[in-house]
Amino acid sequence: MKTLVRFNFLKNRALIFSVLGFHAFVALLAPYLRLSSTDSQDSAALLQGPSLNHWLGTDSLGRDVFSRLLHGGRPSLVIAFAATAISCLIGIVIGSIAALAGGWIDEALSRVIDFMLALPTLILLLLISSFFGQDPLILSVALGLMYASPIARVARSATQTLLARDFIRVARLQGGSRISILFGEVLPNVWRVMFTEVAMQFTWILLAFSSLSFLGLGASPPTPEWGLMIAESRSYMTLNPLLVIAPIMMLASLVLAIQAMVDHE
């Protein structure tokens, strides 16, 4: 017991990267693993425990839990990658422009960022998804726009500290235009500083989408998605607790591994 507590699993590099590797492997290769179909329903085998045919049992519609579990991270991961890319693009460009331009442009952009930060994210997401349909593309763009403001804020301050550094001054003295300085000197360096922030953002977006699915407004049935699987199976927890424990373990291990990797850097 003592060694178990002493073993800091959040700081063990090998463990973190093998968990991340496992998730990458599963997310990329799930469709090619010759698993049973995620949608085929076996009405003769509802809510069964683990067996040779169904390694983790079946859900309330007789679908194979193991197969759904391995596919269940893909929708959130795709959306999280897309939304993070959008938020980085917008956030870093706006943030570094604000810092580079200074003056009233900086002031105006900062106010816009503050305004966006005050918006109630989850309510907006629910509204968008309820009124415009649960389209992954719309949700990615919406998530990307909403999560751009924290990135912009960090990018702005990172750029400001960069601007005081010698190599930027040299670039300016050499007569570089603002745009060439932005793309040549600022962005490549801001990117390095921003990694932590972006990785954190990625997990938040992932969890936001899972929470939406849990509320019934993210992934729509019969898509296998961890949040949705948890929501669908909660009423059957007494009969087969694996139905909720398995997706919880997948979601938790993925998010904790990303978090631990970020802390490690």
Partner 1 sequence: MKNLARRVVFSLATFIALAVVSFVGVDALPGDGCTALLGRFGTDAKIDACRKENNLNDSVVVRLKDWSGDLVRGDLGYSIKRDEQVSEIIIPRLRNTAVMAAVAALIAFPSAIVVGLLLGRYPRKLISKAVNQFSVIAMTLPEFVIATVLWLVLSIWIPIFPGVSVMPSNASLLQLLPNVWLPALTLAVVIFAHSMRTMRASVTNVQNMPFVESARLRGTNERKMIKRHIVPAALPPVVNVVALDGAWLLTGTFVTEAAFNFQGLGRLAIDAISDRDTALILPIILFGLAVYLVSSILADSLVRVFDPRLRSSNR
Of residues 8, 103, 164, 265, which one binds partner 1 by CB under 8 A? 8
Q: Which stretch binds partner 1 (CB under 8 A): 30-38, 139-147, 182-190, 240-248?
A: 240-248
Q: Is residue 13 a contact residue for partner 1 (CB under 8 A)?
A: no
Q: Is 191 exposed, middle or buried (0-12, 13-18, 19+ CB in 10 A)?
A: middle
**Under 8 Å between Cβ of 67 and 37:** yes
Of residues 9, 167, 183, 195, which one binds partner 1 by CB under 8 A? 9
Q: Is residue 234 a contact residue for partner 1 (CB under 8 A)?
A: yes
Q: Is residue 57 a contact residue for partner 1 (CB under 8 A)?
A: no
Contact positions with partner 1 (CB under 8 A) in 193-232? 203, 207, 210-211, 214-217, 227, 230-231
Lay out the site mask for partner 1 across 81-120 (x = CB under 8 A, - = otherwise): ----------------------------------x--xxx
Select 96 or 210, whichever has its Cβ closest to partner 1. 210
Q: Which stretch binds partner 1 (CB under 8 A): 14-22, 71-79, 163-171, 233-241?
A: 233-241
Shortest CB 256 distance to partner 1, Å: 6
Select 181 or 244, whichever has its Cβ closest to partner 1. 244
Q: Is residue 135 a contact residue for partner 1 (CB under 8 A)?
A: no
| Residues lying near partner 1 in the complex (CB under 8 A) | 2, 5-6, 8-10, 115, 118-120, 122-123, 126-127, 130-131, 203, 207, 210-211, 214-217, 227, 230-231, 234, 237-238, 241, 244-245, 248, 251-252, 255-256, 259
